Amino acid sequence: MHRKRVVVTGLSAITPIGNDLETSWTNLLAGTSGVAPITRFDAADFATTIAAEVKGWDATAHIPMKQARRMEIFTQYAVACAQALLAHAGLELDGETAARTGTILGCGLGGLETIENQHAKYMEGGARRVSPFFIPIVIGNMAPGQVAIFTGAKGPNLAITSACASGTHGIGYAFTEIAMGRADAMITGGVESTISPLAVGGFCAMKAMSTRNDEPARASRPFDKDRDGFVMGEGCGMLLLEELEHARRRSATIYGEVVGFGASADAFHMTAPPEDGAGMALAMSAALREAGVAPAEVDCINAHATSTYLNDLCETRAIKSVFGAHAKRVSVTANKSMIGHLLGAAGGVEGVFSVLSLYHGAIPGTVNLDNPGDECDLDYTAQGTVRRRVDYVLSNSFGFGGTNGSVLFKRFED
């Protein structure tokens, strides 16, 4: 069966360093950090009091107030991002176009803040205090569901929940829908917003997050010897994937091409990867193999790079096992050093930044990397943004449960 070519014709982002695509990208290239003290709730009693929050969010600028009040914040981000995405792509959804445009979004946890709030109301006043909108608000697939309602996209509609790999898996499976001819266009990426007492408390209990509370902007330190855990972030990143001929017929701007996707399982541990990074390597190798691309052709790896000791070490080992001698020459970038770890949204936002690297010929630097950790001896672009031609970017995401995903993006050429 002839596989259809899949291109990227639209991008959008809401991140801790900007509430739109242009601002987020500009601040990323400038090395601006979005990490600051938590404002969403009083975190004084927590070991970690910092996070990478979206700043100055006003849902009513994008969604009528009545409808916005019936959405968790992650769904608000998704709807706003989808509207910006279609505007960026110049795509109008009606008739056959609407019927063959779907939505697949990654979302790791869903409406955790609403669960906390509704549980408190239940404990205070019993069952009669629970909102009739409780269930429709909290479920993770309400993000793609509401996106479809607001945009009119009537094709495949689902949420991918695979922890911190959710966004990348969403892109990968949306790519497959088009490549196999099931859809002409797909709204895809990842969304998450779980900066709440329960989530922060849970990760603090695991001792997974940085406690560098006195230096928020320097807390997320991928590959650095002094890294002490990840910084939680939130936001949304979306791509419009489109079948090439469909995009050409409407003279769409093409920002890049998706050419390979790989997914794998560690089959090892609930939260820790095997020390050799074998599962991560499987996903990367699968993406390259599907694309028919040799490791030496890859210019940049947008690393998962959480700023935890084991993840950064294992990802580095996995890169070395897949890329061999070329591992020392490929540019590795860690967006989380500035935006924190967006959990289920991470792969979506990092996928957006990966495509922008191709389109603009710019690889964002990794900040806070002062002293590379043990075995962390690759080129992590710690010197700042590198401007050069970029032909291939591999974007990695790995999650609890031992789930791994890698998407290979290519600079578009006819």
**Which of the following is catalytic: 88, 204, 341, 376?**
341
The pair of structure tokens assigned to 64 is 């009528």
- Helix or strand or coil: residue 397? strand
d(CA 217, CA 77): 24
Beta strand 331-333 pairing with 300-302: parallel
**Which of the following is catalytic: 81, 107, 164, 236?**
164
d(CA 120, CA 123): 5
Q: For residue 25, give every residue at least 6 positions away whose Cβ sits within 8 Å of its Cβ, in sequence order, or none.
A: 13, 18, 353, 356
Give residue 55's identity as a one-letter amino acid code: K
Look at the chain and count its residues. 414
Per the annotation, the verdict on 360 as an active-site residue is: no
Per the annotation, the verdict on 300 as an active-site residue is: no
Per the annotation, the verdict on 326 as an active-site residue is: no
Angle at 84 between CA 78 and CA 86, to 5 degrees: 100
Whole-Å CA distances, 414 to 8, 235, 249, 311, 407: 14, 33, 14, 38, 20
Beta strand 300-302 pairing with 392-399: parallel
Q: Are 408 and 294 in contact (CB under 8 A)?
A: no
d(CA 302, CA 330): 10
d(CA 213, CA 388): 36
**Which of the following is catalytic: 300, 304, 314, 376?**
304
Q: Which residue has the tokens 């509704």?
A: 118
Provide the sign of the torsion angle of the four alpha carbons 177, 183, 187, 192, taken in this order. Answer: negative
Rounded to 10 degrees, the C-alpha dihedral 169/175/178/180 comes to -80
d(CA 219, CA 362): 24
Known catalytic residues are 164, 304, 341
